[in-house]
Amino acid sequence: MRFIGMSGTLPHLIDHIAMGVFDVFQILYSAVEREHEAAIATAAQKGAGIVIRGGAAKGAPTEGKQAGLQWERWRRAHLDDLPDGMTPMEFILRFTFTNPDLDTTIVGTINPAHLQTNLGILEQGPLPPDLYEEAKRRLAAAGSAPQAVDDRGCMGATRPIRCGPRSTDLTIKLVREVILGR
Ligand SMILES: NC(=O)c1ccc[n+]([C@@H]2O[C@H](COP(=O)([O-])OP(=O)(O)OC[C@H]3O[C@@H](n4cnc5c(N)ncnc54)[C@H](OP(=O)(O)O)[C@@H]3O)[C@@H](O)[C@H]2O)c1
């Protein structure tokens, strides 16, 4: 075995990073779900690879998918004045891709036309810096902002996130005894 990866979420992700045994993390992140942004930066600074999931925001700004938290935040962020020709989906995908800490984003689709569109979008590269900064400001106002772990180990999230002991005993036991053989 060469590398060990972890798919984690807050609050446990903080402990997973601190353990220092994972080479790569798969983490939920998009413009409308920025809760893990700070944790992603921490993991990347410690040298871990970052695989983003959910980076297409479930397609939320497109017809037929306008539902749930992702759509609600998109609507509240009032990003209707995107540059000429930039679709909401282009913005969403390029926002994810602009995060300097990501290594790759695994966008889910069962539609070959979407796959083709998405590849074309990603070839456009990161968003212009002024658009990126302004968008982050509006998204934060709409409830999509990086989350820090407070001193009770709980999350001040805009939706319920389980609050409890941060220690992930089972994960530590699994990694130490089964994978690392200690
Ligand atoms: N813990 C884990 O290991 C874990 C948990 C969850 C997900 N995952 C993996 O992460 C990957 C992505 O996660 P996800 O599917 O939850 O989130 P996602 O990539 O943000 O969203 C996928 C949704 O976006 C839509 N979409 C993609 N491109 C589009 C476009 N150009 N226009 C309109 N809609 C578009 C797709 O619909 P269409 O099919 O219609 O294009 C699909 O419904 C998947 O490979 C999944 O298996 C892993």
Pocket test for ligand 1, best of 94, 109, 171 (most atoms within 8 A of CB): 109
Between 182 and 111, name the one with better pLDDT: 111
| Percentage of residues of the chain with pLDDT beyond 90 | 77
Residue 107 Cα to ligand 1 middle (Å): 5
Name all domains of the chain by residue range, CATH numbers in brackets. 5-179 (3.20.20.100)
SS3 readout for 32-88: CECCCHHHHHHHHHCCCEEEEECCCHHHCCCCCCCCHHHHHHHHHHCCCCCCCCCCH
Mean pLDDT lowest among 42-51, 53-62, 146-155:
146-155
Residue 86, exposed/middle/buried by CB under 10 A (0-12, 13-18, 19+)? middle
Residue 181 Cα to ligand 1 middle (Å): 35
**Which residue ranges have their beta carbon within 6 Å of ligand 1?**
7, 26, 53-59, 62, 65, 89, 106-111, 114, 117-118
Mean pLDDT of the chain: 89
pLDDT band at 180 (very low <50, low <70, confident <90, very high): confident
Q: Is the pLDDT of residue 177 over 80?
A: no
User: pLDDT tens, 97-124?
Assistant: 999 999 999 999 999 999 999 999 999 9
Question: What's the average model confidence in pLDDT over 76-85?
Answer: 94
Q: Is the pLDDT of residue 142 over 90?
A: yes
Tell me the whole-structure pTM to 2 decimals: 0.88
What does R_g of the chain's alpha carbons equal in angstroms?
Answer: 17
Is the preceding omega at residue 11 within 30 degrees of 0, hence cis? yes
Instruction: Give the model's pLDDT for residue 31.
Output: 98
Mean pLDDT lowest among 26-35, 40-49, 167-176:
167-176
| Percentage of residues of the chain with pLDDT beyond 70 | 86
Q: Is the pLDDT of residue 168 over 70?
A: no
